[in-house]
């Protein structure tokens, strides 16, 4: 897919356009070169990053949890929102910022048969899976808080699901008729597990910070709340705990023992907000 998506890419060092060479590498006129991994992705990280990348174990847990369908209501709602707000005639690709394994991205791309997708994530383990998530998706390693390796106005749709949001960069890469789709957890998301398993609690100011991050650059055109109850067995609970930021602060053996004491199935709240934004005038 990189040969079809390369026209949207920009060198992370100098911002020049990239081209695909015969030696399995992308390069720019200034001589910066980026090897294409055997798994099909490319590393476009320009240097050091402060972001903490998901580990192999975290990515495996996420893939197992999402593949089991527990978050399918979120996926279905995101695809529906994309169909209602995105114009297929807008030039550009569908970019997923912090897209992980490509689970959501693949389904959105599938809804637009003539559009290519590009997934960006800081974790090489996630990007390896994303490169194979859909025949029309390419994947690259990058830092969402740095300059994105994309040409100006190259994205017809930008997806941001449970991921960092760099307002100025999202504004720069989105086409003026494009749409930004954002999914964020609400305060009652996974509320049954916060006290029981000691999960990280959502900061009550998170929604206001989202508004602050996007307000100078975007205007909301649609927003909706999605709330469901998931029935999770012990394996699903272990995957849920192991796939997110909680995993960086956990003791695996202690988690296993605590999860084994929970009822089967355990009723857990899924609660998110889905929003669509356009560039501010």
Cis-peptide into 265, omega within 30 deg: yes
Q: Is the pLDDT of residue 212 over 90?
A: no
> How far apart, in whole angstroms, are the C-alpha atoms of residue 9 and residue 36?
14
**Predicted TM-score of the model (pTM):** 0.94
**3-state DSSP helix/strand/coil percent for the chain, to nearest 5?**
35, 30, 40
- Residue 205 pLDDT > 70: no
- Reply yes or no on whether the pLDDT at 211 is more than 80: no
The pLDDT value recorded for residue 203 is: 67
**38-49 tens-digit pLDDT:** 999 999 998 777
User: Whose structure tokens read 């949001």?
Assistant: 165
Percent share of the chain, pLDDT over 70: 98
Q: DSSP string of 175-222?
A: EEEEEEEEEEE-TTTTHHHHHHH-PPPPPTTHHHHHHHHHTTTEEEEE
Q: What is the pLDDT of residues 222-244, one digit of tens each?
A: 999 999 999 999 999 999 999 98
Q: Where are the alpha helices (DSSP H) in the chain?
A: 2-5, 56-67, 72-85, 103-110, 124-130, 167-173, 191-197, 206-214, 234-243, 252-260
């Amino acid at each position: 897919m990189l040969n079809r998506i390369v026209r949207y890419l920009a060198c992370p060092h100098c911002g020049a356009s990239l081209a695909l060479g015969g030696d399995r590498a992308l390069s720019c006129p200034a001589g910066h070169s980026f090897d294409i991994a055997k798994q099909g992705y490319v590393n476009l990280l320009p240097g050091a990053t402060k972001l903490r990348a998901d580990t192999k174990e975290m990515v495996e847990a996420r893939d197992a949890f999402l593949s089991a369908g527990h978050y399918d209501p979120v996926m279905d709602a995101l695809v529906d929102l994309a169909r209602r707000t995105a114009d297929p005639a807008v030039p550009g690709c569908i970019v997923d910022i912090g897209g992980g394994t490509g689970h959501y991205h693949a389904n959105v791309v599938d809804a637009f048969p003539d559009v290519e997708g590009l997934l960006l994530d800081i974790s090489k383990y996630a990007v390896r899976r994303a490169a194979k998530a859909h025949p029309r998706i390419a994947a690259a390693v990058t830092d969402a808080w740095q300059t994105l390796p994309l040409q100006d106005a190259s994205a017809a749709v930008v997806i941001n699901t449970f991921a960092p949001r760099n307002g100025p960069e999202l504004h720069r890469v989105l086409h003026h008729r494009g749409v930004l789709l954002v999914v964020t957890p609400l305060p009652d998301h996974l509320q049954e597990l916060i006290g029981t398993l000691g999960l990280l609690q959502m900061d009550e100011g998170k929604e206001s910070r989202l508004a602050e991050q996007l307000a100078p650059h975007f205007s909301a055109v649609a927003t909706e709340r999605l709330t469901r109850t998931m029935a999770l067995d012990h394996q699903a609970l272990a995957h849920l705990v192991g796939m997110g930021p909680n995993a960086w602060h956990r003791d695996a053996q202690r988690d296993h023992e605590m999860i084994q004491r929970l009822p089967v199935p355990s009723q857990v709240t899924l609660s998110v907000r889905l929003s669509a934004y356009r560039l501010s005038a």
